[in-house]
Chains A and B, each alone.
Chain A
């Protein structure tokens, strides 16, 4: 069956622009996670959705970051006024119980 998909796979944007990253989870998976992996760094947890709600948004790095999930399915991560330090691979994962299935990631480069 189809896995987790993310789009775009690569995004190059100018500093100060807004970007929107999309995640399509596996059908039926109620939980959805966003992570960030900066170059040469470990994974960083950003936010988790159960259904359409995100109980804890404290993992988002700044108020320029926001995320939403609609219909218990697709999620978007929006970064406003991008900065160079936002350059990273943004990963999405979904799960039904505990095991997480990861998408291929979106590589964001802010120039």
Chain B
């Protein structure tokens, strides 16, 4: 079993839909990261969480430490949100990655 599990693996949505991507992990963590990788390959850090909830524009990330689960939500999705979203857990700088969720938002 992978230490970091993401679901779904692939997700197709219509523009405007509310998106949820889930991440479950089985190891202890000091922080959890949500990353975005566009088709060109560049990676951008969206959020770093150690507890609670963070919001940035249309993106919301939550984490439940007790349940070892995090979610990334995208409200009012747009085609430019199409990318691979990666969950990464940080155990004192030892990083473990989920396999990623490929999101396609259709106009």
Which interface residue of B97, B98, B100 has the most chain A CB atoms within 10 A? B97
Query: In terms of DSSP, what is the predominant structure of the interface of chain A?
Result: strand
User: Cβ of B88 < 8 Å from any Cβ of A?
Assistant: yes
User: A59 CA to B44 CA in the complex, in Å?
Assistant: 22
A56 touches B45 (CB 8 A): no
Chain B residues numbered 61-107 whose CB sits less than 8 Å from any CB in chain A: 86, 88, 90, 93-100
- Is B98 touching A99 in the complex (CB atoms < 8 A)? no
In the assembled complex, B57 has its CB within 8 A of some CB on chain A: no
| A99 CB contacts on chain B under 8 angstroms | 33, 45, 48
Contact of B96 among A31, A45, A48 (CB under 8 A): A45
Is A43 a contact partner of B86 (Cβ separation < 8 A)? yes
Tell yes or no: A21 within 8 A of B by CB.
no
B43 within 8 A of A: yes
Question: A33 with B95: in contact, given A42-B100, A100-B33 (CB under 8 Å)?
Answer: yes
Interface string of B34-51 (1 = CB under 8 A from A): 010000011111001010
Are B97 and A44 in touch, CB under 8 angstroms? yes
Q: How far is the CB of A31 from chain B (nearest CB, A)?
A: 7
Judge whether B94 and A45 touch: CB under 8 Å: yes
Minimum C-beta distance from A52 to chain B (A): 15
The reply on A72 being an interface residue by CB < 8 A is no
Q: Is residue B31 contacting chain A, with contact meaning CB distance below 8 A?
A: yes
Any B CB within 8 A of the CB of A102:
yes
Report the Cα distance A31→B99, complex, angstroms.
Answer: 24
Closest chain A residue to B43, Cβ basis = A102
A67 touches B (CB below 8 Å): no
Note all chain B residues with C-beta closer than 8 A to A45. Answer: 94-97
On whether the beta carbons of A31 and B42 are closer than 8 Å, the reply is no
CB distance B45 to A48 under 8 Å? no
- Name A residues whose Cβ lies closer than 8 Å to a Cβ of B: 31, 33, 35, 42-45, 48, 50, 55-56, 59, 89, 91, 93, 98-102, 104-105
A-B contact pairs, 27 of them (CB 8 A): A31-B93, A33-B93, A33-B95, A42-B86, A42-B97, A42-B100, A43-B86, A43-B88, A44-B97, A45-B94, A45-B95, A45-B97, A48-B94, A50-B93, A56-B93, A56-B94, A59-B94, A89-B41, A98-B50, A98-B90, A99-B33, A99-B48, A100-B48, A101-B45, A102-B42, A104-B41, A105-B41
